[in-house]
Amino acid sequence: MTDNINTKQASGLSKFNLLLIIIIGILVVFIYSEQQRFKKFMFKSLNSINDIQKTVDFSLTTIQQLSDGFMLVEASQKKYLTGIQFTGRIINTQSVNHSDVTFNLSVNGTNKEFTIKKISSGNSTWFNLYVPELSVKNARYAEIRYIRSSISFYTK
């Protein structure tokens, strides 16, 4: 009789263990799929924020956020020859010095790269860029994207 009770208890325990394993498996699959969905949501959200920050208004002289630790201030544009002359100061908000800093200005479907020789940490440097065959009415909004640079920093 004792063997019969032990067999029923063992059988009930193994069914309970199987049920627990199935429930845990379902929870693991659910949590994993939610993590993947959350990662996709965050990636899309961060990219849309990043894209918004890259669009600048060349009619404003106030500080405008760029990407990768840079800002634009004193932005302006004026008619020059057959196109537009863009000017402004790029601010390096990082704690490293950048040299041979290359940016891409995209305005009204036209892309043009420009290089600034050096922007020390916490400082700003002027840039002037001429884009031919562009009218003033199409030159107010542009995107400035950081492309590459060499960095240096000091340690004690």
| 89 and 31 co-located in one domain | no
Shared domain check, 123 and 69: yes
Are residues 80 and 41 part of one domain? no
User: What would the mean pLDDT of 48-71 be, rounded to a whole number?
Assistant: 82
Same domain assignment for residues 21 and 71: no
| Whether residues 113 and 73 fall in one domain | yes
Domain hosting residue 62, numbered range: 58-152
What is the reported pLDDT for 122? 94
pLDDT at 65: 92
The tens digit of pLDDT for each residue in 4-58 reads 555 556 566 688 888 889 999 999 988 888 888 877 777 766 665 555 556 899 9
Beta strand ranges found along the chain (DSSP E): 55-57, 64-65, 70-80, 83-92, 97-107, 110-119, 124-131, 141-152
In terms of domains, do 109 and 42 share one? no
- Same domain, yes or no: 94 and 117: yes
Same domain (yes/no): 65, 133: yes
* Residue at which a domain ends, from 10, 33, 53: 53
Q: Give the residue from 61, 40, 39, 63 showing the smallest Cα distance to 53.
A: 63
- Alpha carbon distances (Å) from 150 to 48, 72, 97, 129, 134: 27, 20, 8, 21, 31
The CATH number linked to 122 is 2.60.40.1620
In terms of domains, do 45 and 85 share one?
no
